[in-house]
Structure 1
């Protein structure tokens, strides 16, 4: 049972508009008679503009492009603008107003999708980047106040930045099932994580498995990969492009391994980004230059790739324009796993769309963003595919103003603006306007080693 602080209990009483999609699990489809293995891959700091399947000719992403060709690609998936806020939302199915307390912290009382699938009978594994416990590089008030992987429902893990920082690429420091291990300079952190994922997949069991892979790539520092032709660490743009290619290579390694083991026809694989691309990076997309918008609430900071494949179940070469919010992964996974989902989840399932059905698409997405609540005020907005309304009243037509430079002052001056504004204003009013002040952290250290 999920436990909340008093502010979250009050926020959970807020109701959604009737137009929003339902949160309950849909009935089983004839196409899905058994529960699939599930692999959720999330790249770090990369927007939709960096993938061939989204129109890029600058980056080399053949494996993710192949996933799109054999599965479904979403054009309107939105994360939070920054890593920890996105992870908290993704893992709990709740918007940040309800349970976000501090950067690098996932409150210990949260019922994650690790718990959800483990209790549904899945073997669970996490690999890559954690950043949810409050490692020793953060302010003392936040250190060791968050959640360890084992406490979040994972049976096994191989993760960077659990209780200590250390290196992530060359000479990485990784926490493996509760023990920190320093690797030599010849070892590459992302490779080690994928090797542990493949070993986990190979374990013999009559249980389905859930792998959560929040990748270390392609976050800065922008340094050469094992495949880079040059070792010049100053070539940030080139190194980033090399990192994208290596990220794609590792995704392909997992997808190919699943196929080689004869598991492809019963494995759902999802690929998504955690927020927009880092600011120093500039990408060309269909003759438009897109500067990385990580940390911003614009499309450059929140619009991310989402590609899903499951041969024979998810329709091939399908593009879906429905809205997907990061809170939606939780109920979607619950539906595929036939898991008992908490009633207070904010997310709305997109499982029907993945099964080739129309579903009940969202009409809007709500974002509450305040990564440093101890020193800043939140930004709030509601949006759909075209229109966006902020809590301060700023209203934008993203079709003509994707950079949000020109708020609409006269609603009558733009066709459809008044109706869109009325809809989004009602949606914004229905959502919590206040979030956590500061987390009242539990006392005592958390348990480090896995049970």
Structure 2
């Protein structure tokens, strides 16, 4: 389609040249040189059923629905059961277990930096690239988004975040303070990037943070739902937390308003006809709520845990109201974008398929295939018509989306063949585990100025405790013994001098703690002589009690400059002397200064 449009443009240009149009240079440039923009929006923990487009009358999502109505919607589109694996597949076109991803925290979320991302490919083809939101595929370069093809990054590189109202974020590696409700803030940055690059082809990746917990949402949205009767509920009502569902739906309506602002600005900037807009979610719903009667939720390899909305709009290119029944998945997004943009894959070995032929013609012949879903030892296989679950039960999905009737006896040959395919896949791409993953955390990449080492990636000794069992966004506390310490398994990539900033809190009457940061014989000593004891926060904005860690306003303090050697050696933080308590530690920030 884009190829046909280009040929028409060349014909117009030739006509202008022949007629001697005085403005031919300006017109021809506008017609032939502007490549289509791409905006890829992904919600976090939104279920397939959390849209009015899919029949949920509990909420109203006209702007997200409009992407489907004005373009194409995929009826059977599948991602992975949790955040990081889906993101890795979306960005590369490869299954996550081929990329070293095996967890959602403590380094298990990092994807192989030798595999090019869609951002790197588009940047090589003249695009300005930006990511705004939750990255969740590695924090330290070369895993950081700025090292993975994104010119601009604003958001947080960890998994869940502890506060959605003006939180601590980062901008291209440097720690900054957010402005307002986080989802609104991320949309603002996307709109600003569109405006700044309206004359250049751009790629915006907008991985939002909601409706992932903590369940925080501005009052106007919460007020719509806090007492609302929900007419559509989960098929087992006793399992549903109605308050949690109300909060999630309120957060989705906030997402919808922000999608509306982005679409409105595209139209205002006269970019709508030259911009591909994609919308999806990263996994199934984060709670038991209405989801089309499907079995499973986030974390499950059943249909409800991995089926997501997938909508693509490209005004005047994709026929309005197109519906595709063929199965697709997150691994298909990169090859499909390359197909739509007519950028060759060259020698890239992708697991995904180019779905562009189906977008132009839903009736096009498309070979049946298997999509694999895997998490925590459970592997499920999806074909066009069947799903083999992790317990080897077979379901006919077109007639049984709730996976209620095992048809293994009826289709024994198919079941056995799918079991063999699963064994083959797991043998070919054995997933890593926390035990088998021996990669250190990187520090001091030669091309990047900043490196964060958060508490999430550290290991405490003695009585020091993590503030929550879910490591993302945690801090270390209960430092009551001078002999205890915290260490990070670090590989310094470039020898040099680094400015170190500690984000800490310190209880009253405990000033005078002497901290020592060391890498072998390289030592930095800092006296903490300022008490900083802020209260825990976050609960004042939570609509539902959270599982994750609450947070504090940690104080940054300049620890000084340390010389580091280029080698893999534990980086250790210990207290030489202290009173009754040492500091609570949120993170260390390193800035190369030589």
Normalised TM-score (structure 1):
0.79
RMSD: 2.9
Task: Determine if the alignment matches structure 1 residue 283 to structure 2 residue 290.
Answer: yes
User: RCO (CA 8 Å, sep 6+): is it higher in 1 or 2?
Assistant: 1
Structure 2 counterpart of 1:30: 4
Distance 1:52 1:166 in 2: 27
Contact 1:171 1:182 in 2 (8 A): yes
Matched residue, 2:258: 250
Q: How many residues align?
A: 397
Aligned to 1:268, the other structure's residue is in SS state strand
Q: How many angstroms apart in 2 are the aligned matches of 1:442 and 1:358?
A: 48
| Structure 2: segments with no counterpart, 5+ residues | 8-33, 104-108, 228-241, 452-594
* 1:384-399 aligned within 5 A: 384-390=383-389, 393-399=392-398
Q: Distance in 1 between matches of 2:367 and 2:218?
A: 39
Deviations 1:37-64 (A, max 9, x none): 0111111111211111112211210101
Which stretch of the first structure deviates more once superposed, 215-224 or 393-402?
A: 393-402
> Does residue 425 of structure 2 align to residue 431 of structure 1?
yes
- Are residues 1:332 and 2:340 paired? no
CA contact (8 A) 1:44 1:216 kept: yes
For the structure 1 residues 276 and 195, does the alpha-carbon distance in structure 2 shift closer, same or farther, using more than 3 Å as the test?
same
What's the CA shift for 1:223?
A: 2.4
Alpha-carbon spacing, 1:295–1:264, altered in 2? closer, same or farther (3 Å): same
Q: Is the 8 A contact 1:332 1:349 kept in 2?
A: yes
Aligned to 1:211: 204
Q: Does the 8 A contact of 2:285 with 2:297 survive in 1?
A: yes
SS at match of 1:30: helix
Corresponding position of 1:7: none
Match of 1:344 in 2: 349
Shifted more, 125-134 versus 252-261: the winner is 125-134
Partner of 1:9: none
Counterpart of 1:191 in structure 2 is: 184
Contact 1:364–1:382 under 8 Å retained in 2: no
- Do the aligned partners of 1:227 and 1:242 also contact (CA within 8 Å) in 2? no
Identify the residue that residue 46 of structure 2 maps to in structure 1. Answer: 46
State the partner residue of 1:225. Answer: 218
Over 3 Å counting, the alpha-carbon distance change for 1:173 and 1:311 in structure 2 is same
Distance in 2, matches of 1:176 and 1:212, equals 15
- 1:227-280 per-residue CA deviation (whole Å, 9 max, x = no partner) reads 22549799422222211110111111111111110001110001011100012x
- Distance in structure 2 (CA, Å) of the matches to 1:292 and 1:408: 19
- SS of residue matched to 2:257: helix
Counterpart for residue 173 of structure 1:
168
TM-score under structure 2 normalisation? 0.61
- What residue number does 1:154 align with? 150
Q: Secondary structure at the match of 2:325?
A: strand
Distance 1:276 1:213, change over 3 A: same
- Give the Å deviation of 1:398: 2.7
1:298-337 aligned at under 5 Å gives the runs: 298-337=302-341
Measure, in 2, the Cα distance between the counterparts of 1:66 and 1:396: 32
1:120 aligned partner: 125
Alignment of 1:85-164 (within 5 A): 85-103=85-103, 104-134=109-139, 144=140, 147-160=143-156, 162=157
How big is each residue's C-alpha offset from its partner over 1:390-410, in whole Å with a ceiling of 9 and x where there is no partner?
566432223454344553341
Superposed CA offset, 1:202-228 (max 9, x none): 114653100111111111122232522
2-structure distance, mates of 1:81, 1:164 = 15
Q: Secondary structure at the match of 1:193?
A: helix
CA distance in 2, matches of 1:224, 1:84: 23
Q: Distance in 2 between matches of 1:351 and 1:363?
A: 16
Q: 2:74, 2:324 within 8 Å by CA — same for their partners in 1?
A: yes
Between the aligned partners of 2:97 and 2:136, the Cα distance in structure 1 is: 19
> Would the aligned equivalents of 1:115 and 1:154 in 2 still touch at CA under 8 Å?
yes
Q: Could you say if the C-alpha distance between residues 391 and 66 of structure 1 is closer, same or farther in structure 2, counting changes exceeding 3 Å?
A: closer
Q: Which residue matches 2:478? A: none
- 2:260 pairs with 1:267: no
Instruction: Name the SS of the counterpart of 1:150 in structure 2.
Output: helix
3-state SS of the aligned residue for 1:252?
helix
> What displacement does 1:305 show?
0.3
Farther off after superposition, 47-56 or 361-370: 361-370
Structure 1, unpaired ranges of 5+:
1-26, 135-143, 371-375, 412-416
The CA deviation string for residues 156-205 of structure 1, in whole angstroms up to 9 with x for no partner, is 01112x26975441132221122111346xx1111111111111111146
Structure 2 SS opposite 1:431:
helix
Offset at 1:382?
2.3
Q: How does 1:11-30 map to 2 (within 5 A)?
A: 29-30=3-4
Cα pair distance change 1:224/1:334, threshold 3 Å: same
Secondary structure class of the residue paired with 1:126: strand
Instruction: Quote the Cα distance in structure 1 between the aligned partners of 2:81 and 2:348.
Output: 26
Change in CA separation of 1:244 and 1:163 when aligned onto 2, cut-off 3 Å: closer
